[in-house]
């Protein structure tokens, strides 16, 4: 029996920014507006990441930080070549077994695209 796969729902466009551009994408993301947003996947898993923790620092340490919120940190992500359709949920949630199997396969196929963040 495989271990359960947990997911964290991240709204677009932030989900794509995390798996595609990582920490360096903050500034690049600021220039992306308009039609691009309508082309982003929704109700899908776009990649996997290793959660390194969270910060609750005040706003100002990052252009994306908001006061009194937790900020999840990832130290490595693998963007999937093709998003996997999946209805999400708020907070951390367990991925259905069939989708988890597809995630594991996508990870195996796409792990050459691993991105490690400092």
In this structure, are residues 72 and 51 in contact, taking their beta carbons and an 8 Å threshold? yes
| Per-domain boundaries in the chain | 6-116
Model confidence band, residue 93 (pLDDT cutoffs 50, 70, 90): very high
Cβ-contact 80, 111 below 8 angstroms: no
pLDDT in tens, 28-80: 554 455 555 667 888 999 988 888 887 776 555 566 666 677 777 777 888 88
pLDDT score at 76? 83
Q: What whole-number percentage of the chain has pLDDT above 90?
A: 14
Percent pLDDT > 70 in the chain is 71
Query: Is the bond preceding 111 in cis, omega lying within 30 degrees of 0?
Result: no
Q: Which one is predicted more confidently, 58 or 26? A: 58
H or E stretch at 72? strand 71-85
The whole-number pLDDT of residue 36 equals: 59
Q: Count other Cβ atoms within 10 Å, centred on residue 104.
A: 14
Give the model's pLDDT for residue 85.
93
DSSP readout, 101-113?
A: HHHHHHHHHHGGG
């Amino acid at each position: 029996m495989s271990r359960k796969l947990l997911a964290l729902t991240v709204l677009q466009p932030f989900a794509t920014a995390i798996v595609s551009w990582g920490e360096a994408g903050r500034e690049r993301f600021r220039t992306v507006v308009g039609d691009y947003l309508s082309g982003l996947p929704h109700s899908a898993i776009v990649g996997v990441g290793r959660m390194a923790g969270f910060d609750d620092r005040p706003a100002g340490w990052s252009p994306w930080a908001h006061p009194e919120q937790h900020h999840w940190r990832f130290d490595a992500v693998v963007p999937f070549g093709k998003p996997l359709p999946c209805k999400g949920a708020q907070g951390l949630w367990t991925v259905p077994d069939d989708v988890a199997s597809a995630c594991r396969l996508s990870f195996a196929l796409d792990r050459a695209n691993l991105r490690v963040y400092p």
